[in-house]
């Protein structure tokens, strides 16, 4: 059974860079046809797609966050990562990693449990 697990600091200072990693078990990040994405959810609010990556390194970003986001993949570790720069309190959220099908259908069938990241000094 495919499992995804987010990891990283739970507290980040304003203006600094948020860094998270998603570790995949029970499957390979290099599986053909699957993409790996990040989604976030501010406390009490809705979901927001941050971006996605294919194992080859092709990336796709939410236009509203594109200038601050970098998603990368490490196939040797079966992991992919998120970096979000210049964070503010508005970036406080539960961050989920998930696997989806194509970059048109975006069917997120597998999700990590999520990790809360708080931006505060």
Residues that bind another protein (CB under 8 A): 39, 45-49, 60-64, 96, 98, 103-109, 111-114
Residue closer to another protein by CB (options 36, 108) is 108
What Rg, from alpha-carbon coordinates, does the chain have? 13
Q: Which CB sits closer to another protein, 44 or 121?
A: 44
Distance of closest approach, residue 7 Cβ to another protein, in angstroms: 15
CB atoms within 10 A of CB 69: 18
Q: What tokens were used for 115? A: 């990790």
What does the angle CA 31 – CA 80 – CA 9 come to, to the nearest 5 degrees?
Answer: 150
- Of 35 and 119, the one with the shorter C-beta distance to another protein is 35
């Amino acid at each position: 059974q495919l499992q995804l697990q987010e990891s990283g600091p739970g507290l980040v200072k304003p203006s600094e860079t948020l860094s998270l990693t998603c570790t995949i078990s029970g499957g390979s990040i290099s599986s053909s046809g699957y993409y790996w994405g990040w989604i976030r959810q501010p406390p009490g609010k809705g979901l927001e797609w941050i971006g996605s990556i294919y194992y080859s390194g092709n990336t796709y970003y939410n236009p509203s966050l594109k200038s601050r986001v970098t998603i990368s993949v490490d196939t040797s570790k079966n992991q992919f990562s998120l970096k979000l720069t210049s964070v503010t309190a508005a970036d406080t959220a539960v961050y989920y990693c998930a696997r989806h099908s194509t970059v048109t259908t975006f069917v997120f069938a597998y999700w990590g449990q999520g990790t809360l990241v708080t931006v505060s000094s």
